[in-house]
Amino acid sequence: MDRSPLREEIERRNRTLVTAFDRRDERSMAELFTADAQLFPPGREPVSGTERIAAFWKQVFGTGVDEFALETIEVEDCGETAIEVGRYTLRTDDEILDEGTSLVVWKRDDGEWKLHRDIWNSNRSP
Amino acid sequence: MDRSPLREEIERRNRTLVTAFDRRDERSMAELFTADAQLFPPGREPVSGTERIAAFWKQVFGTGVDEFALETIEVEDCGETAIEVGRYTLRTDDEILDEGTSLVVWKRDDGEWKLHRDIWNSNRSP
């Protein structure tokens, strides 16, 4: 498995995202995205920019998810851009609500890696 | 709007994909993907490799889609890799069945651009 410094950095950023989720801190989550980031959640129109991304996460806090987990499957290094294939899991305290695949385009932004394009979908049949 | 040669080439490859769809030619569709490509359709596990990708498209032919359309929204040039944000529409002869967002990682493979990672989800609420 690729254990590159870039992959480790992206895993670190994902842990920061998950920790902010655990604190229900949508501001800190949104700050991990670039200023012109776009989120593509299933079942709705794209979500653009820091304010709307914060509002999106705040709304997720109200959907009964107790635990949000991310696993990095692969990272491609493209210099100032990186592409990550990952897996997410959403759980309540006693069951898995959803699990699926994500594809994230990361950008190095003033020395920090930030999420720039973020799309995911469920692996479970509807 | 960015009218780079790369973007035009990717739009051309998408037209080839759509034309093969119109002919119900899953083999030609699968050959537009790299040998180790992965498709991430909503509602199922990832689909890997040429044979399974051909079988996936063949199964889509049976779902009542008369028209499959792709629109390129943006392309990022990363040398031998390109990242495309797009929009897809699935229609029957008289209604839109689904529309949504796609994120495709393209690879230059022996001089030809091929789809390497392909994920999408619907913009419509379930």
Token representation of residue B96: 């839109």
> B38 and A85 in contact by Cβ < 8 A?
yes
Out of A40, A76, A124, closest to residue B101 by CB: A40
- CA dist., res. A11 & res. A19, Å (int): 12
**Regions of chain B where pLDDT drops below 70:** 1-2
Q: What angle do CA A37, B11, B24 make, to 5 degrees?
A: 115
Pairing of strands B47-48, B67-78: unpaired
- Least CB-CB distance to A43: which of B85, B117, B122? B122
Q: What is the pLDDT of residue B1?
A: 54
Locate tokens 């379930």: which residue?
Answer: B126
ipTM of the complex: 0.95
Q: Is the pTM of this model over 0.90?
A: yes
Closest Cβ–Cβ partner in A46, A79, A103 for B117 = A103
Q: What is the pLDDT of residues A55-110, one digit of tens each?
A: 999 999 999 999 999 999 999 999 999 999 999 999 999 999 999 999 999 999 99
Q: Tell me how far CA of residue B58 lies from CA of B26, B61, B69, B89, in angstroms.
A: 6, 5, 17, 18
* CB contacts < 8 A (A, B): 76
Would you say residue A7 has pLDDT above 80?
Answer: yes
Rounded distance between C-alpha atoms, residue B92 and residue A110, angstroms: 47
pLDDT digits (tens, 9 = 90+) for B43-60: 999 999 999 999 999 999
Which band of pLDDT confidence, cut at 50, 70 and 90, is reported for residue A126? confident
Closest CA–CA distance from residue B65 to any residue of chain A (Å): 19
